[in-house]
Amino acid sequence: MTDRKIRVGILGASGYTGADLIRLACRHPNIEIVFATADRKAGKALADVFPHLGRLKVPNLIAIEDIEWGGIEVEAVFCALPHATSQKVVKGILHGADHSLVDELIVEDADDIASSIKGKIKVIDLSADFRLRDLETYAEWYGKEHDAPELQKIAVYGLTEIYRDEIKKADLVACPGCYPTAALLSLIPLLDAKVITGEDIIIDAKSGVSGAGRSAKEQNLFTEVAEGMHAYAIASHRHAPEIEQELSRALGQSLLVNFTPHLVPMNRGEYETIYVKLSDGVTADDLRAVLTERYADEPFVHVVEKGMVPASRYVRGSNDCMIGVFEDRIPGRAMIIATIDNLVKGSSGQAIQNFNLMFGLPETTGLEQAPMFP
């Protein structure tokens, strides 16, 4: 393994995914963090914002506008900013502007853009801004026109186990949403193998509260989350088109899914029970065999044996995705249960996995820690 240090910046370091990026990056033998940004918390030391990270050697948090791009020579930037903000900032970075928030840039051809940014800073974006390949779909679900449509065209969808070859060559990687990560890792191989039909897929998803980010919101207060649970964004969550985009590619024709997220009283973790229709003559055991074979050599995706039930506790703090397959009492149907840690495989961990690929490092570098239990 190379001992070269790659200089990186972390945008949005005072958020939940930013904190986990720093936690992981500081143990990564090839990462040197040269700047870390915040918005409201700019000017503070990391230890003041996250006492648990206080012993790590990370520069104080600065505003994005105060990054001195000319003198720092970063090779990669992790962008853990809110949607819509991210696309403006990434546009500034990849077009080589000397400041980050650029509003007026000429939209050029995707090939021109790709060649003009080659060899500059590589960006690993954790937000939703570059995930949807179709600009009309983006505008429909995010309620605005995209600020960097030319970059959206060159972004690679960062679901590592599926798009590994493209990620290796990418300049801009759009890490998937946390809900799509677990759903797609479960379903894409099954559609590829044609063992499920793609009709009537139901994704019943639950997330810990950290999935909503650190900015205080009334509905995420302890008083309103503890000892209860609720569904939200019913039949209207923006991760549905993201999941449909990728499943439709696998199926070879467009499909719709039923996707219902729920907020459950835990800090981290995501748990999805997925109901599928089997192709003729196929059993739940066949689905398990397909997934087991597909992920046999994957370091982070674990298909459990028949009868074992995945639990969010079995992946907490790790980059793992655990998948189980079950028979349904209704003939012709089966269930898949998939669980990840939303802050690791669902965001920061997958971002580092993609970074490793983009820089030719072993994919597991910095990500080998086992889950925390209980």
Ligand X SMILES: CC(=O)N[C@@H](CCC(=O)OP(=O)(O)O)C(=O)O
Ligand Y SMILES: NC(=O)C1=CN([C@@H]2O[C@H](COP(=O)(O)OP(=O)(O)OC[C@H]3O[C@@H](n4cnc5c(N)ncnc54)[C@H](OP(=O)(O)O)[C@@H]3O)[C@@H](O)[C@H]2O)C=CC1
Nearer of residues 198 and 317 to ligand X, judged by Cβ: 317
Nearer of residues 17 and 312 to ligand Y, judged by Cβ: 17
Instruction: From 192, 150, 188, select the one nearest 171 (Cα to Cα).
Output: 150
Considering only the stretches 25-33, 177-185, 303-311, 315-323, report the one whose residues sit in contact with ligand X under the rule CB under 6 A. 177-185
Reply yes or no: is the peptide bond before residue 374 cis, omega within 30 of 0. Answer: yes
Binder to ligand Y among 9, 158, 177, 241 (CB under 6 A)? Answer: 177
CB of 347 to ligand Y, least distance (A): 4
> 244 to 283, contacts with ligand X by CB under 6 A?
261, 263
Q: Which does 261 bind (CB under 5 to 8 A by kind): ligand Y, ligand X, none?
A: ligand X
Give the SS3 label for residue 191.
helix
Residue nearest to ligand Y (CB): 15
CB of 369 to ligand Y, least distance (A): 18
> 70 to 129, contacts with ligand Y by CB under 6 A?
80-83, 85, 126-128
d(CA 142, CA 123): 21
| DSSP H helical ranges for 155-208 | 160-169, 178-192
d(CA 46, CA 58): 7
132 binds ligand Y (CB under 6 A): no
Binder to ligand X among 211, 269, 310, 324 (CB under 6 A)? Answer: 211
CB of 49 to ligand X, least distance (A): 21
Strands (E), the chain: 6-11, 31-37, 61-62, 76-79, 122-125, 156-157, 172-174, 201-207, 230-231, 257-263, 270-277, 301-303, 321-327, 333-340
Active site residue 321: no
> 325 to 364, contacts with ligand Y by CB under 6 A?
342-343, 346-347
Binder to ligand X among 14, 127, 152, 245 (CB under 6 A)? Answer: 127
Q: Which does 115 bind (CB under 5 to 8 A by kind): ligand X, ligand Y, none?
A: none
The strand pairing partners of 366, in sequence order, are none
d(CA 269, CA 275): 20
* 43-47 long-range Cβ contacts below 8 angstroms, 24+ apart: 44/14, 46/13, 46/22
Considering only the stretches 42-50, 160-168, 172-180, 189-197, report the one whose residues sit in contact with ligand X under the rule CB under 6 A. 172-180
Residues near ligand Y (CB under 6 A), total: 31
The sign one gets for the Cα dihedral 141, 143, 147, 149 is positive
84 binds ligand X (CB under 6 A): no
User: Residue 342 in contact with residue 268, Cβ under 8 Å?
Assistant: yes
d(CA 308, CA 16): 31
> 1 to 20, contacts with ligand X by CB under 6 A?
none
Cα R_g (the chain), whole angstroms: 20
CB of 190 to ligand Y, least distance (A): 23
CB of 340 to ligand Y, least distance (A): 10
> 205 to 244, contacts with ligand Y by CB under 6 A?
210-211, 213-215
Say how far residue 28 (Cα) sits from the centre of its chain: 19
d(CA 30, CA 363): 12
Give the SS3 label for residue 15.
coil
Q: Which does 343 bind (CB under 5 to 8 A by kind): ligand Y, ligand X, none?
A: ligand Y
Q: Which two tokens stand for residue 139?
A: 């505008």
DSSP category for residue 65: G
Q: Which does 90 bind (CB under 5 to 8 A by kind): ligand X, ligand Y, none?
A: none
207 binds ligand X (CB under 6 A): yes
**Binding residues vs ligand X (CB under 6 A):** 127-128, 177-179, 207, 211-212, 261, 263
Residues at the site binding ligand Y, with contacts judged by CB under 6 A: 12-18, 38-41, 64, 80-83, 85, 126-128, 177-178, 210-211, 213-215, 342-343, 346-347
What residues act catalytically? 178
